């Protein structure tokens, strides 16, 4: 089955620790995205990448870092510099064949800072 996977589903972190969220896709999509969603809010873009070894900051990139060494993988690191990291994190991918507008989302990772 083709799809996009995220792990772990739930993650707990102590203040001051960095943590990395995994995102993998086997859809052969060119572009990948990371979003953050807070309760009752829409999605906010953290980073996106349209090609391997290249990525751009979204609206709320501060305190986060990403890498895109492989087409299938786009991990997100939440650093200790992120002041309020508790949120629901969603990864997505899309293909240039659909003008990038049809994004496929993973199941999400819920991060809680203790």
Which residues in this chain contact other proteins in the complex, by CB under 8 A? 33, 35, 40-45, 48, 58, 88, 90, 92, 96, 98-108, 110
Nearer of residues 17 and 26 to other proteins, judged by Cβ: 26
**CA–CA separation, 23 and 54 (whole Å):** 16
Shortest approach of other proteins to residue 3 CB, angstroms? 11
Shortest approach of other proteins to residue 93 CB, angstroms? 11
Shortest approach of other proteins to residue 16 CB, angstroms? 27
CA distances to 8, 86, 94 from 100, in Å = 26, 28, 5
Nearer of residues 15 and 54 to other proteins, judged by Cβ: 54
- Is residue 75 classed exposed, middle or buried when 0-12, 13-18 and 19+ CB atoms within 10 A define those classes? middle
> Residue 8, preceding bond cis, omega within 30 degrees?
yes
């Amino acid at each position: 089955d083709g799809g996009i996977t995220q792990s772990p589903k739930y993650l707990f972190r102590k203040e001051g620790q960095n943590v990395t969220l995994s995102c993998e896709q086997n859809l052969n999509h060119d572009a990948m995205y990371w979003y953050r969603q807070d309760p009752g809010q829409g999605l906010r873009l953290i980073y996106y990448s349209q090609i391997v070894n290249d990525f751009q900051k979204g609206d709320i990139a501060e305190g986060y870092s990403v890498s895109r060494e492989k087409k299938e993988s786009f991990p997100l690191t939440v650093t200790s510099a992120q002041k309020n990291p508790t949120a629901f994190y969603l990864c997505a991918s899309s293909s240039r064949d659909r003008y990038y507008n049809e994004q496929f989302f993973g199941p999400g990772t819920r991060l809680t800072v203790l």
